[in-house]
Amino acid sequence: MTNEMDRIRIFISSVQSEFAEERVLLYNYIRQDALLGQIFEPFIFEFAEAKSQTVSKVINKVTKDISKATDVNTQISDTVREQVNTQVTKLLLYLNVEGHTTLEISTLLNLKDRIGVMHNYIQPALKLGLIAMTIPDKPNSRLQKYRLTSKGKEMKEKSTLKIGKEQ
């Protein structure tokens, strides 16, 4: 993703000594996480080398880091948005007005992980108002089904995705 020089520096700070252990835990978590470790370079004041820098140099560095973070955040948001749009659109292609259970949706989408289907397909579509629960008063009911709303039907009709094509 990015090389060592392009990572965004994160300063982990707290004036409270009782949070020293938490700062180290956070530092280690970011460094050891496969994705976060590639994007961010955390540092803690206690671990930093003492350097004499002018305030303006420090401010310039922080400003550049904030700008990089904004760019990375935009790229990540666009990627996530595109993925959610594709996943939600695939879900809409298979749903109808009668509704389907989570297991039926998993089978239709040829996916085995029902929890992943719930988090990546059903919940985003619910939040967008594209699908609705058939038993809204009992969201965890074993009889719960999800059906298209009029907004979902409209989006389904406009979709360029087709059933059977790998996306």
Q: 66 pLDDT exceeds 70?
A: no
Q: Among 19, 48, 75, give the residue marking a domain's end.
A: 75
User: How far apart, in Å, are the Cα atoms of 149 and each of 25, 28, 43, 96, 105?
Assistant: 45, 45, 48, 9, 16
Residue 22 lies in a domain: yes
Residue 2: the pLDDT is 44
Structural domain boundaries enclosing 37: 4-75
**Confidence category of residue 147, pLDDT binned at 50, 70, 90:** very high
- Residue 140 domain-assigned (yes or no): yes
Distance CA 98, CA 84 (A): 23
Q: Please check whether residue 40 is in contact with residue 76, taking contact to mean a CB–CB distance below 8 angstroms.
A: no
Residue 97 amino acid letter: V
pLDDT reported for residue 52: 58
Q: Give the pLDDT band of residue 1 (cuts 50, 70, 90).
A: very low
Do 82 and 153 belong to one domain?
Answer: yes
pLDDT category at 166 given cuts 50, 70, 90 is very low
What is d(CA 2, CA 40) in angstroms, rounded to the nearest whole number?
10
Regarding whether 88 and 150 lie in a shared domain, the answer is yes
- If asked whether residues 69 and 83 sit together in one domain, one would say no
For 31-49, the pLDDT digits (tens) are 887 778 888 888 776 665 5
Q: Per residue in 88-129, pLDDT tens?
A: 778 888 787 788 999 999 888 888 888 888 888 898 889 888
Full DSSP string of 19-69 = GHHHHHHHHHHHHHSTTHHHHEEEEEGGGSPP----HHHHHHHHHHHHHHH
Is residue 138 domain-resident?
A: yes
Q: What is the pTM of this model?
A: 0.48
